[in-house]
Copies of this chain bind each other. A is one copy, B any other.
Amino acid sequence: MNVELINPFIAATVNVLKTMARTDPKHGTPSIKQGSKTWGDVTGLIGMAGDGVCGSLIISFDEPCILKIVSNMLMEDFKEINNDVLDAVGEITNMISGGTKSALSEKGYNFNMATPMMITGKNISLSQLSKTPVITVPFTTEAGQFVVEAHISKA
């Protein structure tokens, strides 16, 4: 995938977390995803699909990071990854994907979003059937870290 396509994902991630969770994440350098393991303790994933367009967004948080984000979002103190936290991960994934729509549409990638899914567990083998590489971007927050992995391509 064209590396410039990652920028809308970075911008949407920052915007969603600032707006919804009073969190200001700093991103590191994008690179091509190696291997096929989930990075964090909890991972949200969503498929994006349009006419001749397909892709995915994966966001994977370490536990302290997501507990702080969801505590800020829901104004309640979460101490462990429970169903409310998982649902919030799905919502965040959905909002970030949605936040990229207009910028990617301007580049000719029009899509709708599939049902968000959430995986619990580090180092889960999660691979994708795609000819174009997945770009991964590390993020740091005050409470912990997460990564965003995105891929979008035209048929």
A interface residues with partner B (beta carbon < 8 Å): 45-51, 53-56, 83, 86-87, 90-91, 94, 111-121, 124-130, 151
Contacts and interface: CB of A to CB of B under 8 A. Distances in A.
Can you list the 3 inter-chain pairs with the closest CB atoms, starting with the nearest?
Answer: A47-B47, A47-B114, A90-B129
A92 B48 CA distance: 19
9 contacts: A49-B49, A49-B50, A49-B113, A51-B112, A90-B128, A117-B126, A117-B129, A118-B125, A121-B125
B126 A118 contact: yes
Contacts of A120: 124-125
Given A114-B54, A151-B115, A124 B124 contact: yes
